[in-house]
Amino acid sequence: MIGRIIAELGPWSWWVLGMLLLAAELVMPGVFLVWIGLGAILTGAISLLLWETGFWTWQLQALVFAASAIVFTLAGRRYFSRLETESDQPLLNQRGASLVGRTAVLAEPIREGRGRIRLDDTFWLVSGPDLPGGARVRIVSANGQDLRVEEA
């Protein structure tokens, strides 16, 4: 069935595929299908020019499509990566990293390298040297949810 549709549409089948991919980008945003869709449209444009020639086989069309999709993807990533700006809040979604440098009181003593502190309304697991409960500590690093502390 698909082979029959492609045979009937001829070079326009690439245009249809490209438009379907661009429409799918609207449903699944992520700016990825755009580049593949542009590769299909470029292949369709070349197919309009070369459809009647003997060397424009489906294998060559597939290679042109794959190469153009890769080139468009790399060019798009390069272009959009230059547009990224520095954030005025670089630690916005990195809560653990935003705590580095703060001091707190141990809610539970650090035994065998593990303990807990309370910062604001949250208890955090900490690692560091063994210290008694109530000792003042400074957060020196964060690895995900695990905070490393030292005596303040």
Residues of the chain scoring pLDDT < 50: none
Residue 128: per-residue pLDDT: 92
Q: Domains of the chain: which residue ranges?
A: 2-82, 95-151
Residue 117: per-residue pLDDT: 92
Residue-by-residue DSSP string for the chain = -HHHHHHHHTTHHHHHHHHHHHHHHHHS-SSSHHHHHHHHHHHHHHHHHHTTSTT--HHHHHHHHHHHHHHHHHHHHHHHHHT----S-TTTT-HHHHTTT-EEEEEEEEETTEEEEEETTEEEEEESS-B-TT-EEEEEEEETTEEEEEE-
pLDDT in tens, 87-124: 777 666 777 778 888 999 999 999 998 999 988 888 88
* Region 95-151: CATH code: 2.40.50.140
Residue 2: per-residue pLDDT: 63
